[in-house]
């Protein structure tokens, strides 16, 4: 059975009807290039936004713990459909089976987090300088939220945003990547089951918009959508930010990463090799947190590169549905073009390919992950290529290594492997890593949902998922109540009439 045929079978089991077919947007699997058909585009975007605005008027009146009940039911439905949805992620995004399962588990975990959050949307009580006055700060629902997601996490990114937005009182409009439309339709079908069990949710509370870049741009420009949460390339994020800023809206951006690992002489190299392998080649190097740059102390560089090269030579590459496969396909031919171009540029800039870099002869777009030793942090190294290329550079001074790590436009994830407390703490200090995520003795990829996820600089500055990321989906309001019979003004101002 082709990957696309299997995907259609799963869609039928999940309740996605035949009405989605017969459109203009192709649905293909990167596993073997097979086509499931073409999906119907959403026609009336004005109606989508109008439904979301009407839903907001009702949903913001529902108590937050009751809103959390909907997300709890979503978590139950995801548990029941985990294997099917995970398989669909594998078929459509090319992830190996355990990564597909892990992505759906992440959705379930975020549901659990958001359910608890629905009873903890805390504000503050503040002392007033005026006698007989009470002052407090509270958080109110914001309005419809637009979620623009990328192909590499076709369902988890929606869950990070949607679960928090729903408990905060906000309807959700989802514009998924054109490359992973089936996973979005399946997720909506699962959510529809939760909505049916919930019973009194307003129409338009959660909608999927099927379309290309033009649809996303039109929605981002709509002033009725106060928050746009966009995940994707820095180029895309800058375009979204300009559009949203022009109408004084808010944008929550999760954009490019060019993540580094610093390996020091005291590091446990066995651990480092395992962390490098997963971080650099997992999802075929198509994670925003993938390891792109390996910064190794010059005294251990040759030994570490030799061990990595041996590990890369034995990487099982192939159909991600098969047991034992660790590296699946690139998403499409454009991704392979970027892979080839980056390797050519690296060679022009003095790089030497240690291992990999070739295309694998089979249906789909498969490559051998590459390790490239570079003489310096050149232009190609500073650019994020969404493919399994690991650039290796050496250093002799730890301060210089940290400076090298920070000397790229992106600022998402980072890590250091060391057994030195001083090096570890310096890396985590204010003058250490400038990234939103900083790890010690674990790789840059594979964040847990409890911590707010996001980065700085060209990564966009947004934060999703855990911690207090919920505040992005709400509006802050300072409230003052005068329960006295006087009317004193603040700062001692007198205005007697």
Residues with catalytic annotation? 254, 288
Q: What angle do CA 414, 312, 267 make, to 5 degrees?
A: 45
Q: Are 438 and 428 in contact (CB under 8 A)?
A: yes
Whether residue 145 contacts residue 172, with contact meaning beta carbons closer than 8 Å, is answered with yes
Burial class for 174, CB neighbours closer than 10 Å (0-12, 13-18, 19+): buried
Q: How far apart are CA 242 and CA 314, in angstroms?
A: 46
If DSSP codes are grouped into helix, strand and coil, which group holds residue 24? strand
Q: What does DSSP say about strands 359-360 and 366-367: parallel, antiparallel, or unpaired?
A: antiparallel
DSSP code per residue over 425-443:
HHHTSTTS--SSEEEESS-
Q: What is the dihedral of CA 154, 155, 160, 166, to 10 degrees?
A: 130
Sequence-distant (≥ 6) Cβ neighbours of residue 483 within 8 angstroms: 132, 133, 134
Kindly state the helix (H) or strand (E) to which residue 39 belongs, with its residue range: strand 35-39
Using CA atoms, how far apart are residues 296 and 260, in angstroms rounded to an integer? 10
Helix pair angle (234-246, 213-220), 10° resolution: 30
Can you tell me the distance from the alpha carbon of 164 to that of 166, in angstroms, rounded to the nearest whole number? Answer: 6
Distance CA(49)–CA(42), nearest Å, equals 12
Closest C-alpha among 331, 269, 325, 326 to residue 294: 269
Residues 6+ apart with CB under 8 A from 189: 14, 15, 16
Identify the residue whose tokens are 């802050």. 476
């Amino acid at each position: 059975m082709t990957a696309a045929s299997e995907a259609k079978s799963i869609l039928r089991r999940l309740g996605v009807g035949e009405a989605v077919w017969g459109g203009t947007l192709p649905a293909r699997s990167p596993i073997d290039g097979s086509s499931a058909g073409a999906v119907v585009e959403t026609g009336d975007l004005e109606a989508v936004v109008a439904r979301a605005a009407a839903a907001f008027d009702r949903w913001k009146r529902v108590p937050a713990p009751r809103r959390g009940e909907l997300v709890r039911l979503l978590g139950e439905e995801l548990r029941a459909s985990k294997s099917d949805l995970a398989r669909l992620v594998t078929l459509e995004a090319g992830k190996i089976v355990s990564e597909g399962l892990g992505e759906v588990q992440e959705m379930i975990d975020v549901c659990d987090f958001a359910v608890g959050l629905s009873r903890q949307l805390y504000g503050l009580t503040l002392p007033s300088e005026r006698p007989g006055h009470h002052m407090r700060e509270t958080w109110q629902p914001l309005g419809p939220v637009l979620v623009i997601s990328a192909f590499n996490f076709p369902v988890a990114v929606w869950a990070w945003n949607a679960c928090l937005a729903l408990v905060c009182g906000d309807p959700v409009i989802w514009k998924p990547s054109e490359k992973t439309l089936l996973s979005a339709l399946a997720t909506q079908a699962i959510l529809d089951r939760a909505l049916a069990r919930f019973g009194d949710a307003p129409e338009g509370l959660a909608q999927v918009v099927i379309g290309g870049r033009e649809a996303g741009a039109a929605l981002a420009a709509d002033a009725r959508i106060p928050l746009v949460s966009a995940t994707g390339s820095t180029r895309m994020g800058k375009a979204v930010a300009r559009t949203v800023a022009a109408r004084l809206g808010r944008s929550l951006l999760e954009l490019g990463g060019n993540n580094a690992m610093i390996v020091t002489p005291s590091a446990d190299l066995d651990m480092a090799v395992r962390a490098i392998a997963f971080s650099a080649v997992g999802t075929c190097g198509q994670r925003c947190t993938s390891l792109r740059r390996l910064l190794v102390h010059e005294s251990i560089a040759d030994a570490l590169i030799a061990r990595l090269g041996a590990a890369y030579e034995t990487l099982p590459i192939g159909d991600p549905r098969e047991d034992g496969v660790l590296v699946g396909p690139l998403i499409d031919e454009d991704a392979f073009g970027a892979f080839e171009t980056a390797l050519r540029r690296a060679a022009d800039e003095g790089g030497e390919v240690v291992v990999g870099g070739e295309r694998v002869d089979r249906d789909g777009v498969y490559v051998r992950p590459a390790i490239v030793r570079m003489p310096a942090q050149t232009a190609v190294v500073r650019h994020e290529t969404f493919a399994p290329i690991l650039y290796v550079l050496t250093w002799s001074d730890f301060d210089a290594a940290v400076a090298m790590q920070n000397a790229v436009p992106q600022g998402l994830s980072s890590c250091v492997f060391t057994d030195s407390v001083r090096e570890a703490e310096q890396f985590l200090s204010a003058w250490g890593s400038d990234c939103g995520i900083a790890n010690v003795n674990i790789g840059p990829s594979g964040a847990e949902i409890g911590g707010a996820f996001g980065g700085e600089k060209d990564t966009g500055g947004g934060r999703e998922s855990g911690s207090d990321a919920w505040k992005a989906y709400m509006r802050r309001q300072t409230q003052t109540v005068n329960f006295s019979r006087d009317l004193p003004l603040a700062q001692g101002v007198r205005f007697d009439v």
